[in-house]
Amino acid sequence: MSGDGSPLELTEDTALAGELARAWYVPRGIVGWFSVVDHRTIGKRYIVTAFGFFIIAGILAGLMRIQLAVPNNHFLGPDLYNQVFTTHGTMMMFLFAVPIMEALGVYLVPLMIGARNIAFPRLNTFSYFVYLFGGVMLTATMLLNTAPDVGWFAYVPLAGPDFSPGKRADFWAQLITFTEVSGLAVAVELVATIFKTRAPGMSLNRMPLFVWSMLVTAFMVIFAMPSVVTSSTFLLLDRLVGTHFYNPAEGGDALLWQHLFWFFGHPEVYIIFVPALGIVSSIVTTFTRRPVFGYTAMVLSLVATGFIGFGLWVHHMFATGLPQLGLTYFTAASMIIAIPSGVQIFCWIASLWRGRPRMETPLLFVMGFIAIFVLGGLSGVTLASLPFDLQVHDTYYVVAHFHYVLIGGALFPLLGGIFYWFPKMTGRMLSDRLGRTTFWVLFAGFNTTFFPMHIVGIEGMPRRVYTYPAELGWGTLNLVSSTGAILLVLGGILLLYNIVRSSIAGVAAPSNPWGADTLEWSVSSPPPVYNFLYVPVVEGRNALWDRADDPPIVTGIRSDCREVLVTTVMDATPSNKCSYPEPSIWPFLCAVVTSACFIGSIFTPWALPVAILPLTITLIGWFWPKDERSDSSTARARERSEAA
Amino acid sequence: MSLSRGALIAVSAATVAACGGNQNMFNPHGPAARSIATLGWWLFAVCGAVYVLVLLTALWAVARRWQVSDDAPAKLQTLARSVTGATVITAIILIGFTVASVVAGRGLTSPSGPGAVTVDVIGHQWWWEFQYRDVTPSDFVTSPNELHVPVGVPVRLQASSRDVIHSFWVPNLHGKRDLIPGLSTETWIEADTAGIYRGQCAEFCGVQHARMAFVIVAEPMSAFLEWIAHQRMPAAEPAAGDARRGFDVFQRSTCITCHTIRGTRAGSRIGPELTHVGSRLMIGAGTLPNTRASLVEWVANPHSVKPGVRMPPTPLAAADRDAVVTYLRSLR
Amino acid sequence: MSPRPVIDVSALPNSEFGHRGLIWWGTVGFMVIEGSMFVIALVVYFYLRLNVEEWPPGLPDPDPSYGTANLILVLVSLVPAVVSKRAAEAFQLERARVWLLVLVLMGLASVVLRAFEYPALNCRWDDNAYASMVWVLLSMHTIHVSTDVVDSVVLLVMAWMKPMTRKRFVDLSENSLYWYFIVAWWIPIYLVIYFAPRLL
């Protein structure tokens, strides 16, 4: 563990740096902004956009808490309240939580594995714009009194054509299409990147745990999202062209929606949670200055979580009267998934015990994660018990549970990750002092807001109610919750202030301010456009700590064009090379056409055939090969002769 | 109506209005709820202990002073054993929870004895239709939003919905059961003490999901049978006075497009049946207590208390409206 | 800190066929996604069967003549797909693009046959849940066939117009791979649409 993680820069290689900078340039100007295919830029755009939606959804939550602060309140009428809570949940789950985790993957994975970009860079750009347009569409519905109002999981028949007239539920269902297209594209990119473009020497068992977590997440996305795409498409068809998938009067089935949605919906929460586990491992490693205890167990736990997560979905349907024997299986499975999570918690505690923890802001957020997520996980275990669930299902107890696991299990690690990686992304340090204050404010605010909800759910308060009677005694605890929300807002403001101030005037960050072990810390902060001057050869599980003083590198990759190295899946031995594309406007144009088609089809089925021609044109523009600069004259001549 | 019954209603109305622990799942008044509450206490006790243990261990791990010997291989072995041990204990606890849940659950699917009464629970946006079956169809009793049950006797519920998914839930007596259109789901409840228990819809069902409540009145079997017999009787036609005027206004107003009053021409089943509305505890599906003032407000414009409800405002002159309310209150 | 070159990759080819290359992973990734959607659709078909007594409920069975013709056509189309793929992998441009042309023509014929299959379903999508399901099953497959035919046409044009690079031979090979996927899925979907009503 001798490497100090300093970047490799030799004065003689400013020539190399210049050549690579020209090859991997990030275009400027207005057209350039839409043509960027660079993973760091797209990753940062995703992060900023996702936080934008987080703020909007947070404000909606604030409105909900004002309405619920006292019984029989008149701040929001029932129709507006229903739009507010639906949009809050939909925005948080589809426009913030999943995209931001994928965004961290998009930004960090290529850097952590020694690659110069993510695989399929134009697809990456396309996916960002589709996500953005979908989010803008949903936000616009709020301003036009046509926001969805059927809950973030939109049960039928309530969300169907008979009971939700108008376009509200259509916008919800189409938002799914936007975010799933975007999410699936990124998942495929991540699998290809992680399996095939790792630096030589980074065999699978030397991959950082964060990369493992993104790999597992990408697989979960690929297998889970088709289910919700199917279910939401069926809903749109029922609503727009008169099909009968969910219409019991014509052989359809109301429970079909629940099966299809929750087959996606349960893995969805692990899609949000598993990357956070990767963040925690990264932070624990760095701030204890030791490799995480039990690497193999940690990897197996991630994989096990991914698999088992697909076998739990019916625990959302315990009250629907399905056969008892089947339900018993789902109780057992829902309990068992606590085991891999438990293993991870125990390994992290062992790491903290063994190492020398530096309690700076990222690690503080990890401690907050332990305190909050474990409580949420335990309330989840109680929910797995069918008889108990029959009482607390659809009450504020469940609201408390999922906020504990989502905020504790995903948001707190995410915030720790923001403090940890902000220097790398921007070249500035965030204020640690302010960070610690922010942590305590958020920790106190979170528990004040959400802990009472366990109690008020036990006292009988159902979910999704715009008001409640005074006689039931729920007023006091609701007021406490609403007061706690003020602290959460305050914490958010402190965080935002920290980010803005540090972006402008923060302390300049060296390449490895934390003395961390993963490859992204071997390059400058922020990284150069080509990521690595030399593609490294990795010699151990903790790349920078196991690195010799004369670190081995790869030669023979062209620096005058966007050539990358493709390696084998298991051992990352060099296999062949590949040319990544230059910046291109076509992914953006394709996203515009796709989005117009999606939105148009809410209003008329003709949008689909009309979109075919423009879509074909943009796709042809996208894939039409340019005179590939990656072909040197000799290479081209050789290939022509082979072709003859 | 007997004196004791009147007293019961008066006391119960006060209880419903003032009761704090009414909808609390840890305030069980029936065998099913009691079984679940017991399970719940065990779950909380064990989970609470686990949480405290994990938290203290984590805090100790960061707070302790690091020693050079912590990097030794022997320490790694100790850690490995500890992690393995903790995992095994976790698995044992989870298996225990699963077994406890299955055991507690077995008693919940079937009632404690032969169901003496069967009630159809039909969900509507946003009210409850409880229908007591009988051998003779003309003796069916429909009691909207108020379910009477005999104490100590299991009552079978066959549940379905006319529109969207609702969920029948009275926490003092049992867990919830969804009402799904196109399906019939089954559950049962049993109260072991007389009293009034509040229930509420527990599946988001649209704009007035929040105000879709009901009451369960648990009374001794004799009182229950008396109630059923009384409910079977059609409404008496008032002879004279304000009630008569109200009867006439009702019969010629839009009221009859939605409401049934047996014994009159009003026979629509779109809205709740009003044959014995005067004897009910609440109106508007648990929204308002059944008082004169509430009824006046409700009849004039139900949207002032329950915006979005399916019942439109009834345009009547004040005197006519008062007369209708007098008539309705006479329907005991 | 001075770097030490240990591996020289200059001799490695600029793209590679099959799973050793990168495009394959993208193609297979999308095949897994689309395949999952087909699996779900088929499961839903059988799930809905449980809801009713008669199958199809109140409607005649679909007429399998055009569907069977299409099945035979796409199975035969595997020949040009395989030949084209192998030719591409051997850098035989003439052979690859001629057989790709055959494949495109067969693909177009398949789409034409598909137009006749819809009325042969003997139902409208809004008749009942069964009808909705068979229309969706057929349409999901139709969308895949159509997009791959368009894709193949573009590749064909490029194969005649532009000087070939190694990478585009890989694209030709991947295109055939996707065609295999489309043909493979037609088999269960065909069987379910046209024969499940007779068996269930």
- Which residue, among B304, B297, B288, B284, has the nearest Cα to B325 in the 3D structure? B297
- Average pLDDT (C136-164) is 92
pLDDT of B106: 85
> In the beta sheet, which residues pair with residue B159?
B121, B185
Q: Distance (Å, rounded) from C-alpha C182 to C-alpha C110?
A: 12
C178 touching A (Cβ < 8 Å) = no
Tell me: cis bond preceding C135? Omega within 30 of 0 counts. Answer: no
- Are the Cβ atoms of A343 and B83 closer than 8 angstroms? yes
**B175 min Cα distance to partner chain A (Å):** 4
Judging contacts by C-beta atoms under 8 Å, the chain B residues touching residue A352 are 58, 61-62
pLDDT digits (tens, 9 = 90+) for B21-42: 589 999 999 999 999 999 999 9
Banded pLDDT at A631 (limits 50, 70, 90): very low
Q: Alpha-carbon distance B321 to B259, whole Å?
A: 16
Measured distance CA(C74)–CA(C141) in Å, rounded:
12
pLDDT in tens, C65-112: 999 999 999 999 999 999 999 999 999 999 999 999 999 999 999 999
Looking at residue B18, its pLDDT comes to 41
- Our measurement of the distance from residue A550's CA atom to the centroid of its chain's CA atoms, rounded to an integer in Å, reads 37
Q: What is the C-alpha to C-alpha distance for residues B77 and A298, in angstroms, rounded to an integer? A: 16
Name the nearest CA neighbour of A552 among A149, A201, A64. A201
Q: Provide the CATH topology of domain B241-330.
A: Immunoglobulin-like (2.60.40)
Smallest CA-to-CA distance from A246 within C198, B185, C138, B183 is with B183
Closest-CA residue of A relative to B109 is A324
Indicate if the pLDDT at residue A329 is higher than 70.
yes
Pairing of strands A563-567, A574-579: antiparallel
Q: How many CB pairs under 8 A join A and B?
A: 240
Instruction: Return d(Cα A450, Cα A598) in angstroms, integer.
Output: 37
| Residue reference for tokens 């703020």 | A55
**B12 and chain A in contact, CB less than 8 A:** no
Range A538-552 average pLDDT: 91
Cβ contact, residue pair B39, A385, below 8 Å: yes
**Token duo for residue A591:** 């996203």
Is A245 within 8 Å of C44 when comparing Cβ atoms?
A: yes
Model pLDDT for residues A415-467, shown as the tens digit of each residue: 999 999 999 999 999 999 999 999 999 999 999 999 999 999 999 999 999 99
Does the domain spanning B1-64+110-232 belong to CATH 2.60.40.420?
A: yes
User: Measured between alpha carbons, how far apart are the two ends of chain C, in Å?
Assistant: 73
CA–CA distance from B26 to each of A43, A173, A643, B170, C47 (Å)? 48, 39, 79, 12, 39
Asked if A395 lies within 8 A of B175 by C-beta distance, the reply is no
Q: What is the pTM of this model?
A: 0.95
Instruction: Tell me what pLDDT residue A577 has.
Output: 95
Rounded CA gap, A441 and A434, in Å?
A: 10
Hey, which chains touch A, using 3+ CB pairs under 8 Å? B, C
Task: Give the nearest partner residue to A388 out of B24, B43, B178, using CB atoms.
Answer: B43
Q: d(Cα C36, Cα C140) in Å, to the nearest integer?
A: 12
Tokens describing residue A247: 């219409």
The dihedral built from the CA positions of residue B153, B158, B159 and B162, taken in this order, carries a sign that is negative
Residues in a beta bridge with B215: B146, B198
The pLDDT of residue A90 is above 80:
yes
Which residues in chain C touch residue A575, judged by CB atoms under 8 angstroms apart? 12, 16, 20
Residue-wise pLDDT for A488-536, tens only, equals 999 999 999 999 999 999 999 999 999 999 999 999 999 999 999 999 9
Question: What end-to-end distance do the CA atoms of chain B give, in Å?
Answer: 8
Smallest Cα distance from C161 to chain A, Å: 11
Residues in A closer than 8 angstroms to C56, CB to CB, are: none
Contacts of A78 in chain B (CB under 8 A): 207-208, 210, 307-308
Whether B241-330 and B1-64+110-232 are alike in CATH topology: the answer is: yes
Which chain A residues touch B304 with a CB distance below 8 Å? none
**Domain ranges for chain B:** 1-64+110-232, 241-330
Of the candidates C20, C34, C166, which has its C-beta nearest A575's C-beta? C20
For β-strands A552-555 and C4-8, DSSP reports them as parallel
The pLDDT of residue A352 is above 90:
yes
pLDDT tens, residue by residue, B170-192? 999 999 999 999 999 999 999 99
Q: Are B24 and A460 in contact (CB under 8 A)?
A: yes
- Indicate which of A575, A617, A632 best probes the interface with C, i.e. most C CBs within 10 Å of its own CB: A575
Who's near A211: CB < 8 A, 6+ residues apart? Answer: A109, A112, A113, A194, A278
Q: Determine contact: A627 vs chain B, CB below 8 A.
A: no
pLDDT, tens digit (0-9, with 9 covering 90-100), for B196-214: 999 999 999 999 999 999 9
Counted residue by residue, chain C has a size of 200
What percent helix, strand, coil does chain A show, rounded to 5? 70, 5, 30
B43 at A interface, C-beta within 8 A: yes
Distance (Å) of CA A575 to CA A605, C9, C19: 47, 9, 11
Please indicate whether, in this complex, the C-beta atoms of C14 and A578 are within 8 angstroms of each other: yes
Q: What is the DSSP letter of A96?
A: I
Mean pLDDT of C143-165: 90
pLDDT at A633 over 60: no
Pairing of strands B146-150, B213-219: parallel
Instruction: State the Cα–Cα distance between residues A264 and B99, nearest whole angstrom.
Output: 28
ipTM: 0.96
Find, in chain C, the residue whose alpha carbon is nearest to that of A642.
Answer: C91
Rg (CA), chain B: 26
Dihedral class, residue A72 (left if φ above 0, else alpha if ψ from -120 to 50, else beta): left
Q: Do C40 and A244 touch (CB under 8 A)?
A: no
CA distance A107 to B145: 56
Pairwise CB contact (< 8 Å): C3 & A565? no
Mutate to test the interface with A, among C15, C25, C46, C185 (most CBs of A within 10 A): C25
Angstrom distance (rounded) from CA C102 to CA C110: 12
- The answer to whether the CB atoms of C37 and A226 lie below 8 A apart is yes
